Every structure is written in C-alpha cells, then in structure tokens.
Structure 1
Amino acid sequence: MDNVGIVVESLEDAITFFTEMGLKLEGRATIEGEWAGRVTGLGDQRVEIAMMVTPDGHSRLELSRFLTPPIESDQRTAPVNALGYLRAMFTVQNIDNTLERLYKLGAELVGEVVQYQDSYKLCYIRGPEGLLIGLAEELGNI
C-alpha cells in the first residue's frame, strides 16, 4: 500500500495532531489542474496536501484540503459500524501516554481502552474534525 488519504478542513490542525502521534511531515504541495481531476473524477480541482510518514518509513498518510471543487459530503461523524471508510489504526508505544498528549489537542475517547488477551491494548478516538482513529499498543506476550 502506498498511502491512506483523509480529507480535512484544517491541514494545520491535522498535521499537528498526527505529528503528536509520531508521524513526520514528509512534504506539502498543491495539486491542481485538469490532469488531477482526471484521476479523481472531479474535473478541475485544487487541493493542498501534506504527506505524513510513519516512524518506520513504511506507511504514509495523505492529508488533503480541497479548495475546489467544494466538499460534497461529510462522513466524519459516522459510527464505527458505518459502511465504507471506517478508521485508520496506528501502533503506539504507550497508549495511555499517547491519549494524554492527544486529549490536549481535542481528541475524545469513543468507547474505552480495552485489553485483548495478553496481546494488545486498543481504543478508538475521535481526532481532529471528528476523524475516527484506532490506537493499538502491542503488549509483551504476542
């Protein structure tokens, strides 16, 4: 997989949030023109993007802010069992410390932090703009 894309209203807030989760900003650009619209099917478009990379360098998250055309729908508050995009799950070193840092940026716990056997601690949060994000801490007994 090359990357996962998420459309946001505030690129700056999303960059700050995902940086706090441990991702690094790899680059920013404005993508525009008829060629880009041929890929997305949106016609002439103008989009600011920020590419974030995970600490191991193997996965990327593309954050997009559409300037044109205008946003058509909003699925950020869809429940966990909604069809389509569900969430992105990130491995963290310490879920409690990560939550403490993300709460300061407005994150909200969806349910609760649970432990799955002796393998993982897991939770879902709502991040910037209500995005659904999963956190997973691998425990020592996998």
Structure 2
Amino acid sequence: MAVKRMDNMGIVVEDLDGAIAFFRALGLNLEGRAMVEGEWAGQVTGLGDQQVEIAMMATPDGHSRLELSRFIRPEIVADHRTAPVNALGYLRIMFAVDDIDETVARLGALGAQLTGDIVQYGESYRLCYVRGHEGLLIGLAQELG
C-alpha cells in the first residue's frame, strides 16, 4: 500500500482570523471553518475531550491544503514558533509564488519580516523565509525562466 497524496498540513494558531487573513494575502482560499469537538476528536489526537476551531485553506491550484487550528480546550502547552531554522521538528512550509518581491511586500504590510535576504539559487529560483502571522516560518520560492 502506497501513499495516495498529502491531504493537508496543520498549524496551530492563537488568532484564527488573523491567520486566515495572512494566508489569504499569500493567495490561499478559505474553503471553510468548523468547530471540531468532543471525545471522538480527542480519540484521534490523544488529547481527550477537546474543542478546536479550524479553517481549511487551499492553494489556488486546489492540490494542497493548510488546516489552521485554534485550540479552545485543552489549553496550549508548548510554543515552537520562535525556534530557529535549525531546530528539530517541522521547519516551515514552502510556497511557490509568481513574484517574490511583491509577495514579500504584501505580507510585510501584515507584519511579516524576512528572516534573512531574498537570494537567488543559480538560474533556477529566488528564495526567502519570512516570519509571518504569530511568527510562523514561511518559505517563498519564485521559479526563474
């Protein structure tokens, strides 16, 4: 049995509305919002009785999704958002964009900041990392040519 696809990546946030606005500015589409709660949900996560508000965001091509989650119950127990890029665990999400300079400017208006510089990788890509809403690390890649 092989993996058929990756359905989504999940990110836990404190401010769901702000995260939705940030990822909309990046170009993702809001597919829907819902409350996920109760023992059944906790059986999946191992957290017991939980209440989580989620928003599903989709890339414009419809192939990738990002699930944003705001935990109401139980409370948040750890925060990895300010870890440096060489920390263990999940690093970042990389998005392909058509104009990296315009994207950085648009996200900068929402408080995003470059972690370094926009750099060119050979003749293939322009790349950068930004710390976006709530310090989330986002990679941007503009294919050249």
- 1:133 aligned to 2:138? yes
Q: Distance in 2 between matches of 1:28 and 1:118?
A: 40
TM-score by length of 1: 0.98
Q: Whole-Å Cα distance in 2 between the matches of residues 112 and 21 of structure 1?
A: 18
Gaps of 5+ in 1: none
1:96, CA displacement in angstroms? 0.1
Correspondence for 1:91: 96
| Residue in 2 that maps onto 1:26 | 31
Moved over 3 A (4+): none
1:51-106 Cα deviation digits (max 9, x unpaired): 00000000000000000000000000000000001000000010000011000000
Specify the alignment match of 1:38 in structure 2: 43
What is the CA–CA distance in structure 1 between the aligned matches of 2:47 and 2:53, rounded to whole Å?
15
Percentage of identical aligned residues? 72
Q: Give 1:134 shift.
A: 0.3
Describe how 1:71-110 pairs up with structure 2 within 5 A. Answer: 71-110=76-115
Q: Which residue of 1 aligns with 2:3?
A: none
Q: CA deviation at 1:25?
A: 0.1
C-alpha root-mean-square deviation of aligned residues, in Å?
A: 0.4
